[in-house]
Structure 1
Amino acid sequence: MKILGPPTLDAFPVLNTHPALLPSFPGAHGVRDALVHGVKVTGCTVMLADSGVDTGPIVAQEAVPVLPDDDEAVLHERIKTVERRLLVEIVGRMAREGWTVSGRQVRIGNLTGGEST
């Protein structure tokens, strides 16, 4: 894992994924931290990368339930399944429909204010 610096981020928009519902549980141990805190729901986040760690504007999120017998590996695999599908969906939508960023808000599609097709 590498944190990208301003030269790269200024030149290229970069999507990143994280196995938690940010801003909760940032960093390398999001799944473990969610289990330690006893949350009943966690999930995944697709965000635009910025120069921080898991701090970029959120593009999409999806919840994943934490089941009573989950350990870190089992929960992480279930999150990764959702995370991969969500990333593919979001990249496709951004490519087809366009996207804008205003502050921390990312908007996909319907950029003219009219009906989205």
Structure 2
Amino acid sequence: MKNIVVLISGSGTNLQALIDAQLQDRLGCRISAVISNRPGVKGLQRAEQAGIPALVLDHTGFDSREAFDAALMTLIDDHDPALVVLAGFMRILTADFTRHYLGRMLNIHPSLLPKYPGLHTHQRALDAGDREHGATIHFVTPELDDGPNVIQAIVPVIAGDDAASLAQRVQVQEHIIYPQAVAWFTSGRLQMQDNHCLLDGEPLPPSGQVVDAR
């Protein structure tokens, strides 16, 4: 069974979705380690409770982003992962790091990319008057939130929504689509070629596969 390594920085709700999928034999791989750049976060407790090695590499102990990423790369590679999964990992990664894992690193972003890269996505969608919002799983490339999309979940923006209520509905869908994308990859169905996603050998549209939860 293939190994994956999950990187976190906080509470780890998407990590929990992956753990649950593993326990239900829906993930098709083994989470061999969870690594956080912040000590004491709830995601580490989730890993420990599931019997998964929970490791901390505190970025504040490094003099540069490059030094931290080099140490993180070494720690990840000790676990021989087929895939690196960013699950709320709040670090901008260096180009050397992303190139090392090119085509075998996934990220989740709380918007319908290419809309709203970066932070505060839910409020930005509300401020723009959008009628739909959602989440995207994409391959990681050196450009921030710009790798090819694997799968998107669309949720409605409801009258009276604030950023918190919208985020809550988006998160429900995140917990569905992330295990799906990981299972596609570890089963050999999903791959990235020439900055495009292929599923079962067929190119996906720019949006990736779409799950409509409206």
Greater shift, 41-50 or 7-16, is seen at 7-16
1:3 to 88, 92, 112: 92
State the secondary structure of the residue aligned to 2:187: helix
How do residues 1-117 of structure 1 correspond to structure 2 at under 5 angstroms?
A: 1-12=90-101, 13-110=104-201
Gaps of 5+ in 2: 1-89, 203-214
Q: Distance in 2 between matches of 1:63 and 1:20?
A: 9
8 Å CA contact 1:48–1:58 kept in 2: the answer is: yes
In the alignment, what sits opposite 1:114? none
Q: What RMSD, in angstroms, separates the aligned Cα atoms of the two structures?
A: 1.5
Which stretches of structure 1, 4 residues or more, deviate above 6 A after TM superposition?
none
Question: In the TM superposition, what is the alpha-carbon distance from 1:11 to its structure 2 partner?
Answer: 2.1
Give ranges in structure 1 of 5+ residues lacking alignment.
112-117
Higher RCO (C-alpha 8 Å, min separation 6): 1
Distance 2:196 2:159 in 1: 34
Normalising by structure 1, we get a TM-score of 0.86
Percent identical: 30
TM-score calculated relative to the size of structure 2: 0.49
Larger-Rg structure? 2
Q: Determine if contact 1:3/1:51 at 8 Å carries over to the other structure.
A: no
Aligned residues: 111
